[in-house]
Amino acid sequence: MSKTPLAFTPSTVPVTIDPEKCIADKGCTVCIDVCPLDVLAVDMAKGTAYMKFDECWYCMPCERDCPTGAVRVEIPYLLR
Amino acid sequence: MQTHEREYDVVIVGGGTAGPMAAIKAKQSDPQLRVLLIEKAAVRRSGAISMGMDGLNNAVIPGHATPEQYVREITIANDGIVNQRTLMAYATNSFETIEELDKWGVRFEKDETGDYAVKKVHHMGSYVLPMPNGHDIKKVLYRQLKRARVEITNRLVATRLLVSDSSAGRRVSGVMGFDCRSADFHVIRAKAVVLACGAAGRLGLPASGYLFGTYENPTNAGDGYSMAYHAGAELSGIECFQINPLIKDYNGPACAYVTGPFGGYTTNAQGQRFIECDYWSGQMMWEFFQELQGGKGPVFLKLDHLADETITAIEQILHTNERPSRGRFHTGRGTDYRQRMVEMHISEIGLCSGHSASGVWVDERAQTTVAGLHAAGDMACVPHNYMLGAFVYGRFAGESSAQFCANHELAATDEEVIERERQRVWAPLQREGGLPPNQVEYKLRRMVNDYLQPPKVTRKMELGLERFEAIREDLDHLSARDPHELMRALEVHAIRDCAEMAARASLFRTESRWGLYHARVDFPHRNDAEWFCHVQLQQNERGEMTCFKRAIEPYIIPIAVDERDAYQQLRTQVTAAPVAA
CB A48 within 8 A of CB A22: yes
> What's residue B78's pLDDT?
96
* Cβ–Cβ contact A7 with B under 8 A: no
- A53, A65, A73 ranked by CB distance to B484: nearest: A53
3 state SS for B91-136: HHHHHHHHHHHHHHCCCCCECCCCCECCECCCCCCCCEEECCCHHH
> What's residue B571's pLDDT?
87
Instruction: Check CB contact under 8 Å for A79 and B250.
Output: yes
> What's residue A8's pLDDT?
83
Instruction: Check CB contact under 8 Å for A36 and B217.
Output: yes
Which residues, 6+ apart, have CB-to-CB distance to B459 below 8 Å? none
Report the alpha-carbon distance of residue B231 to residue B369 in Å, rounded: 10
The CATH architecture annotation of domain B245-346 reads Alpha-Beta Complex (3.90)
What are the two backbone dihedrals, phi and then psi, of residue B8, each rounded to the nearest 5 degrees? -135, 170
Q: Which residues of A touch B42 (CB under 8 A)?
A: 33-36
Report the alpha-carbon distance of residue A31 to residue B541 in Å, rounded: 46
Q: For residue B270, how many other CB atoms are within 10 A of its CB?
A: 8
Q: Please report, in tens digits, the pLDDT of each residue of chain A (80 residues total).
A: 456 778 888 889 999 999 999 999 999 999 999 999 999 999 999 999 999 999 999 999 999 999 999 999 999 999 99
What are the two backbone dihedrals, phi and then psi, of residue B348, each rounded to the nearest 5 degrees? -70, 170
Q: Which amino acid is at B184?
A: D
Which residues, 6+ apart, have CB-to-CB distance to B553 below 8 Å? B83, B84, B85
Q: Which residues of B touch A37 (CB under 8 A)?
A: 41, 212, 218-219
Q: Which residues of A touch B16 (CB under 8 A)?
A: none
CA angle B64-B68-B70, nearest 5°?
60
* Cβ–Cβ contact A45 with B under 8 A: no
What are the two backbone dihedrals, phi and then psi, of residue B370, each rounded to the nearest 5 degrees? -105, 125
Helix (H) or strand (E) run with residue B470 in it:
helix B458-474
How many contacts (CB atoms, under 8 Å) link A and B? 93
Chain A: nearest CA to B538, how far in angstroms?
A: 30
Handedness of CA B306, B312, B317, B321 (dihedral sign): positive
CA angle B407-B409-B413, nearest 5°?
140
- B209, B332, B434 ranked by CB distance to A1: nearest: B434
Nearest to B240 by CA among B18, B11, B80: B80
* Cβ–Cβ contact A64 with B under 8 A: yes
What CATH fold (topology level) applies to the domain B424-538+545-551? Methane Monooxygenase Hydroxylase; Chain G, domain 1 (1.20.58)
The end-to-end CA distance of chain B, in Å, is 84
Q: Where are the beta strands (DSSP E) in B242-363?
A: 245-247, 265-267, 299-302, 342-346, 359-360
CA angle B86-B88-B91, nearest 5°?
115
Rg (CA), chain B: 23
A-interface mutation test, from B179, B202, B321, B325, most A Cβ less than 10 A away = B325
CA B498 from centroid of its chain's CA atoms: 13
CB B511 within 8 A of CB B525: yes
Instruction: Check CB contact under 8 Å for B51 and A64.
Output: yes
Query: Which neighbouring-strand residues pair with A51?
Result: A40
Report the alpha-carbon distance of residue A34 to residue B345 in Å, rounded: 30
Which residues, 6+ apart, have CB-to-CB distance to B2 below 8 Å? B182, B184, B185
Q: For residue B523, how many other CB atoms are within 10 A of its CB?
A: 17
Which residues, 6+ apart, have CB-to-CB distance to B506 below 8 Å? B238, B239, B452, B456, B461, B518, B520
Per DSSP, B511 falls in state S
Nearest CA in chain A to B435: A4
Three-state SS at A30: helix
Report the alpha-carbon distance of residue B33 to residue B31 in Å, rounded: 5
3 state SS for B546-581: EEEEEECCCCCCCCCHHHHCHHHCCECCCCCCCCCC
Q: List chain B domain ranges.
A: 245-346, 424-538+545-551
> What's residue B581's pLDDT?
45
B-interface mutation test, from A12, A15, A32, A37, most B Cβ less than 10 A away = A37
Q: Where are the beta strands (DSSP E) in B368-478?
A: 373-375
Alpha carbon distances (Å) from B242 to A57, B355, B408: 19, 7, 37
Q: Where are the beta strands (DSSP E) in B265-391?
A: 265-267, 299-302, 342-346, 359-360, 373-375
Which residues, 6+ apart, have CB-to-CB distance to B335 below 8 Å? B342
Query: Which neighbouring-strand residues pair with B229?
Result: none
> What's residue B135's pLDDT?
86
Report the alpha-carbon distance of residue A12 to residue B359 in Å, rounded: 36
Please give the domain boundaries of chain A with CATH numbers for all domains.
15-79 (3.30.70.20)
Using the CB atoms, write b or e for B44-67: b if 16+ within 10 Å. Answer: bbbbbbbbbbbbbbbbbbeebbeb
What is the bridge-based pairing of β-strands B55-56 and B129-130? antiparallel
- Model pTM greater than 0.90? yes
What are the two backbone dihedrals, phi and then psi, of residue B164, each rounded to the nearest 5 degrees? -135, 130
pLDDT digits (tens, 9 = 90+) for A11-32: 899 999 999 999 999 999 999 9
Instruction: Check CB contact under 8 Å for B218 and A34.
Output: no
Report the alpha-carbon distance of residue B486 to residue B572 in Å, rounded: 50
CB B159 within 8 A of CB B422: no
Q: Please report, in tens digits, the pLDDT of each residue of chain B (581 residues total).
A: 999 999 999 999 999 999 999 999 999 999 999 999 999 999 999 999 999 998 999 999 999 999 999 999 999 999 999 999 999 999 999 999 999 999 999 999 999 999 999 999 898 899 999 998 888 899 999 999 999 999 999 999 999 999 999 999 999 999 999 999 999 999 999 999 999 999 999 999 999 999 999 999 999 999 999 999 999 999 999 999 999 999 999 999 988 888 999 999 999 999 999 998 889 999 999 999 999 999 999 999 999 999 999 999 999 989 988 899 999 999 999 999 999 999 999 999 999 999 999 999 999 999 999 999 999 999 999 999 999 999 999 999 999 999 999 999 999 999 999 999 999 999 999 998 899 999 999 999 999 999 999 999 999 999 999 999 999 999 999 999 999 999 999 999 999 999 999 999 999 999 999 999 999 999 999 999 999 999 999 999 999 999 999 999 999 999 998 888 888 888 887 654 555 54
CB B387 within 8 A of CB B94: no
Alpha carbon distances (Å) from B139 to B228, B318, B521, B550: 29, 19, 47, 41
